[in-house]
Amino acid sequence: MPGVPKQLEKIRRSFHGSWCFHLPNLTLATGDVITTFVPGFVGSIVKVWLAVTTAVTSATTANLAYNLEIGTVNLVGGVVTINSNAAVGTVFNGTVVKGSNNFDNDDTLSVEVVVTTAATGGTVILVVEYEGKI
């Protein structure tokens, strides 16, 4: 900005990080698995994925889909689907986050699961990557 000393210019800053949610029981029915998590800062969700830490098992083939909400609005994208029985270490990537992904410091975040075919066992870590703004 012309005429303004460099030290007084506003610098846009951001930081990147992730929240890791341990989901120990994949035998749950459709519904919220995490509710009203408050981030405490302004930012946007950029990616969602999960890693299997205890084998996902089912009598047939497990089919679970996780999605995030900010307030009561679903993210556009970011849905992670477990569509198979999965060994420890398997990673499932979410769909590309395309919108409704910005949050304020006092917004609430929730994670929902839609169960098509229930798992009989399994544990995962759901990872939500974000960009925070200063």
| pLDDT of res. 94 | 97
The domains located in the chain, with CATH, are 14-133 (2.60.120)
| pLDDT of res. 131 | 95
Residue-wise pLDDT tens digits, 12-62 = 688 999 999 999 877 678 889 999 899 999 999 999 999 999 998 887 888
Q: Which one, of 132, 129, 62, 122, lies nearest residue 93 by Cα?
A: 129
How many residues make up the chain in this entry? Answer: 134
pLDDT exceeds 70 at position 1: no
| pLDDT of res. 89 | 95
**In whole angstroms, what is the distance from residue 76 CA to residue 69 CA?**
9
pLDDT band of residue 112 (cuts 50, 70, 90) is very high
C-alpha separations of 97 from 16, 48, 102 in Å: 16, 8, 11
| pLDDT of res. 117 | 84
**In whole angstroms, what is the distance from residue 35 CA to residue 33 CA?**
7
Q: Which residue did the predictor score with more confidence, 101 or 12?
A: 101
Query: Average pLDDT of 2-21?
Result: 75
| pLDDT of res. 38 | 96
